Structure 1
Amino acid sequence: MEDYELVAAALSKITNTQVITYNEYLSQKDKNSDQIFQYFDSNLLHDIYLVKGVVTSDVIEVEDDDIASSSNVEVENSTNNFENVFISFSGETLEIKNLNANTTISQLKNKIFESKGIVPNEQWLTIQNVFIKNLSGKTLTVKNLNAKTSINQLKNKIYETEGIPPDEQYLNYGLKSLQDHQTLSYYEITNDTTINLSTRLRGGSNTIKVLDRDFLDPHYNYDFTNIKPCGRTYMRGNYKYMRPYGWNRLAIRVLDKYSDNRWLGVNNRTKFSESVEGEWIVSFHGTAKNNANSIAKDGFRLSKGRRFQYGRGVYSTPDIDTAACYADKFVHEGVNYQVVFQNRVKPGTFDVVSSETGLKIFITRNDKNIRPYGICIRKI
C-alpha cells in the first residue's frame, strides 16, 4: 500500500488535482457530501500525462547530420488501418475494410451503402455491450445500445438496474465527462468500452480522483535505486535501453490493455538483455507541464546549421537523466521526490534529434504510438 500512497502523491502533483488511494476513498466517501469521486486508471493516465511541446513558428537551426528521421514517420492525421470491422444483419456478416482512426460513423454507413445499397439514414448500428465500472469495482454490462444512444438514455438504463438517479450519476470516459445531450458515437464509445461511474452527491462540485486498486502491477516492479551500471548493453525494440539507475521503477498494469502484449516484449525473450520481435523502444518522459515547451525548444538547440522546424509532438528521451531535467518534484511524508514516466515508443513512428555528444530526443506525433508503462521515482 505504501507504493500506492507514493504514486498518489506524485499524480496529485502532475495532474494538479487531488489523487487518493482506494483505502483513503473508503474512509472519506461517507464523511464529506461536497465531493465527487472519480476513478483514476491507466487509460486516464495515458491521456493526462502526455505533455505535448509546441515548437514556435520561428525557424530553428540545426545541422543536417543531427536529424535522424526514423522510417515511415506517422503524423497526427495518419491513416493507419484498423483490423477489419464486421457488420451483422439479417443473418449475414459484412466485412468492412480500410477504416482508419479518423473514420466516422457516417463514413462507415456510406461504406455499408456502397456494399449493400442500404441508405445511410435507414441504417441503425448497434453497440452490443458497454461496461459500466463503479468505485466499488463492480462492473455492470449495459446491452442493446446503438451509436445514437444518448448519455441520458444510458443513465436511465443504469438507473433501471442500479437504482442510482440519473442526476446523481457521473460518467467518465478517459478525460471526458460525458454530457447528457451527447451520444455514444460523439465520444467514440464502441462495443465493449468500459465507462467509469461515480456518484455525484447533491450540492457537490469538487472532484477527487481515486487510484484504481489495479493501477500498479507489483510483479514487474524493479528498484534500481542502489544498482550501478555494470557495462552490459540492454536492447529493447532493437534500440539501446538505458536502464533507470538510481530510480525506483513502479510498474503500471498495462498487460492486456491493448490488442496484444508484443509491444512490451513479455513473450519469447530468451535473454533478458536482448530484444524480441514486435517490441517497442523504451523512452522516458518528464512530467512538468510548464517545461513541455522548454524540452521542445532545447531539442532543436542541440546543434546549429540549416533551417529546420517541427510542430506539435510528445517529447521523450532514451536517457532518464535528460527527462529528469523536465520532471516534477513533490513531497510525500516530508521527503522530497522527483517523478519521470517510463514509456514504450513504437519503432518507425517518431523523429530523432541528436546532439554532437549523442544526446537524443524523440518526437512522437501521435500519442497512440507512445504508451506509459512505468513510474520512476527517486528521493532528492
Structure 2
Amino acid sequence: MDNYELVAAALSKITNTQVITYNEYLTQKDRNPDQTFQYFDSNLLHDIYLVKGVVSSDVIDVEEEVENSTRNLENVFISFSGETLEIKNLNANTTISQLKNKIFETKGIVPNDQWLTIQNVLIKNLSGKTLTVKNLNSKTSINQLKNKIYETEGIPPDEQYLNYGLKSLQDHQTLSYYEITNDTTINLSTRLRGGSNTIQVLDRDFLDPRYDYDFTNIKPSGTYTRGNYKYVRPYGWNRMAMRVLNKYSDNSWLGVNNRTNISESVEGEWIVSFHGTGKNNVNSIAKDGYLLSKGLRFKYGRGVYSTPDIDWAARYADIFVYKGENYQVVFQNRVKPDTFDVVSFDSGLKFFISPNDKEIRPYGLCFRKI
C-alpha cells in the first residue's frame, strides 16, 4: 500500500476536491499542460477542519467582555446627525466603555444610548484581492459579516475562514470583541471547494514515515501516559505521522526528547487527543458537546472539540474509498496541558474543548478499513 496515495484519497474526500501525490503530478503535468496545479496547504486544512462548536453559553456575558476589554485605538471619528466628532489621544488601554464616556463628556449622550458604528472593513483574500464591506457597526457579528461577503462574492459562509491579528474569528463574536475598527483589514481564506479545475498536489514532505506505527493488529496492553494524562493508543488503526518535527519553536510538545520508558510521559509533553475530519458532522459533535456541557461553568464560549478516545472521534470521521475498499480517517493531535476544559459522560468518555486552536496540533493521521 502506498501511504501517499491513501492519504491523497483521504484528503480528496475531506476537502471535496482532487488531491494527488507528487509522483502523480509528475506524470500528469506533461500530459495535461493546461491543467492548473497547486501545493496542498496542510496548515489551512487543519485550521478549517478542526471540529469546532459552542460550549454552553448561559453563564457567559459577551457584552461585558466587549465593554471591558482593551482596544488598540489612537484617534476615532464619530459620525452622527451629519456631524463628525474626533476623539483624540486614545491608547492601547482605552476600552469601548471609556470611549463612550469621552463621547458623553463632549456631546452629553449617555453611554447606554450610544451605538458605535464601524463604517468599513477590508477583506483580503489569498490572491491579494481586497473587498470593502460597508455599513457595519461594533455589534455586527462575524456570522453577519460572512453573510455580507457571501452577498458580494458568492462564497457560502460555512466555506469562509476569517483571520485577524493571528486570531480565527468565531461566528458568534462581534467585530468589537476582536478590536476591529474602521478600515481594519481581515484576511479571508476559503475551504478547498469541489468543482474547481485546480488539482491539489500533496508535497513529498507532508508525511514522516520514520514515526509511523501500525496498531491495526496490536491488542491493548499496559498503561500509557502522555503529558501526564492517560493515553489510550489507537489500537486497530494504522497511524501515519505528519512531518511536524521542527515546525514549531521547539519539539518538547511531541515528547521526542529524554523518553526512557515508552509508557511514561516526559517533561513538556502535550496530551494526545483525536478528532474526526467529517465537515458534514461538525454540527453533530458541536451539538453533543453543547448538550454535555450545558449547565457547567466554562470561561470560554467556543472551542475545538477533540477526545482521548479514537473510537468516539471516529463517529465524526469521513469514510472514503481507496482501491475499492472503505476506510475511515481521524486526526491524531497533541493538546497543551492546562489549556482546555473537560466534559465527561457518566461512562467515563470525555471531550476536550480547546478555546485556542493554536494549542491543539495535529501530528498524525489514523486509518482503518471498515
* TM-score normalised by length of structure 2: 0.62
Aligned-partner residue type, residue 236 of structure 1: R
* 1:56 to 1:207, Cα distance in 2 relative to 1, 3 A: farther
Q: CA deviation at 1:288?
A: 0.7
The answer to whether the Cα contact below 8 Å between 1:281 and 1:347 also exists between their aligned partners in 2 is yes
Distance 2:351 2:326 in 1: 27
Cα-Cα RMSD: 3.4
The residue type equivalent to 1:17 in the other structure is T
Cα pair distance change 1:36/1:177, threshold 3 Å: farther
Q: Find the residue that maps to 1:227 and give its secondary structure.
A: coil
CA–CA separation in structure 1 for the residues paired with 2:347 and 2:216:
26
- Residue number in structure 2 paired with 1:278: 268
For residue 219 of structure 1, the aligned residue among 190, 210, 220 is 210
Deviates more, 1:47-56 or 1:205-214: 47-56
Residues 101-140 of structure 1: pairs in structure 2 closer than 5 A: none
Rate the CA distance shift 1:180–1:303 in 2: closer, same or farther, 3 A: closer
1:47-86 counterparts in 2 under 5 A? Answer: 47-54=47-54
Please tell me whether residue 322 in structure 1 is matched to residue 299 in structure 2: no
1:49 CA displacement? 2.8
Residue segments in structure 1 that go unaligned for 5+ positions in a row: 61-75, 78-101, 105-109, 112-175, 190-204
Match of residue 253 from structure 1: 243
Larger relative contact order, structure 1 or 2 (CA cutoff 8 Å, min sep 6)? 1
Residues 1:341 and 2:338 aligned together: no
Distance 1:364 1:103 in 2: 26
1:26-72 CA-partner distances (Å, limit 9, x unpaired): 11112334432111254233223313224587x69xxxxxxxxxxxx
Q: Secondary structure at the match of 2:30?
A: coil
Task: State the alpha-carbon separation in 2 of the partners of residues 364 and 307 from structure 1.
Answer: 16
Question: 1:179 aligned to 120, 128, 137, which one?
Answer: 128
CA-CA distance at 1:308 after TM superposition? 5.8
Give, in angstroms, the shift of residue 10 of structure 1.
0.3
Cross-structure match for 2:355: 365
- CA apart distance, 1:187: 8.7
Match of 2:223 in 1: 233
1 CA distance for matches of 2:129 and 2:233? Answer: 46
Give yes or no for contact 1:300–1:353 (8 Å, CA) kept in 2: no
For 1:228, give the aligned amino acid: K
Q: Report the TM-score, using the length of structure 1 for normalisation.
A: 0.60
Larger relative helix fraction: 2
**CA–CA separation in structure 1 for the residues paired with 2:54 and 2:301:** 6
**Partners of 1:178 and 1:350 in 2: how far apart?**
35
**1:84-95 matched pairs, under 5 angstroms:** none
Question: 1:6 corresponds to which letter in structure 2?
Answer: L
